[in-house]
Amino acid sequence: MEKHLLFDFDGTLVDSLGIGLKAMNIVGRRKGYPRVNSEDLDDLLRKPIRERFRHYGVPMVKLPALALEFYREYKQCLQELRFFEGIPDMLHRLHEAGCRLTVVSSNDPEIIKNYMAHHNISLFHKIIGSNRIFGKDKIIRRYMRQEKLVPEQLIYVGDELRDIEACKRAGIPIIWVSYGFDHEELVKTAGPEFVAHSPAEVVSIINGLEHPLLK
């Protein structure tokens, strides 16, 4: 049975917290929202994402339009974007083991494609993006329909509470990575099936799973 691994991008493959904060504050200043300071991040990452926006007075209905502006600014900072240590090795090891790798992200797919091309990584079956903060479960279900898969054939790798919630709705397991954005205090009650503290641990979990994905 073919193995399909779905990856989040920001906070899972790349450490984009710094450039995300920079882009967020540029857009926020333009729109009149309060500045987000780096010293506020630890507290913010312990809150669900809706609470974060509510804290800064950002209406959820405006998020799609704000996301478009955010990623325009994000693109200007791509030279500062870095893989987390060990990510390229993880991707190559999983690809060589026969896993089919796909990115499912809220980021602009062109940003992700260009970043991967710049780093000479062409290991992905598909790169799927959306400017919606929520709704990854719909993207995952669409992917399963297009690829003619059942939930037991997929595992998602992500770093946020909303990733876990989307996987629960889609009926697929998730490996939550602790080195990303959301704090463990926030996600522990959501019940991710697996927890990895490094990219190497993601590989170890995949290799050791008693899961139909690996049969």
Domain assignments of the chain as residue spans, ordered by start: 3-15+81-214, 17-80
DSSP one-letter code for 148: T
What was the pLDDT predicted at 131?
Answer: 67
Confidence bin at 65 (pLDDT 50/70/90): confident
What is the per-residue pLDDT across 25-45, written as a single tens digit (0 to 9) for each? 999 999 999 999 989 888 889
Torsion of CA 105, 72, 111, 68, to 10 degrees: 30
Supply the DSSP symbol for 137. H
Does the 3-15+81-214 domain belong in CATH 3.40.50.1000?
yes
- Bridge partners (DSSP) listed for residue 99: 3
Name the pTM for this structure: 0.91
| Alpha carbon distance, N-terminus to C-terminus of the chain | 6
Contacts of 115 (CB under 8 A, 6+ apart): 14, 78, 81
pLDDT for the residue 135: 85
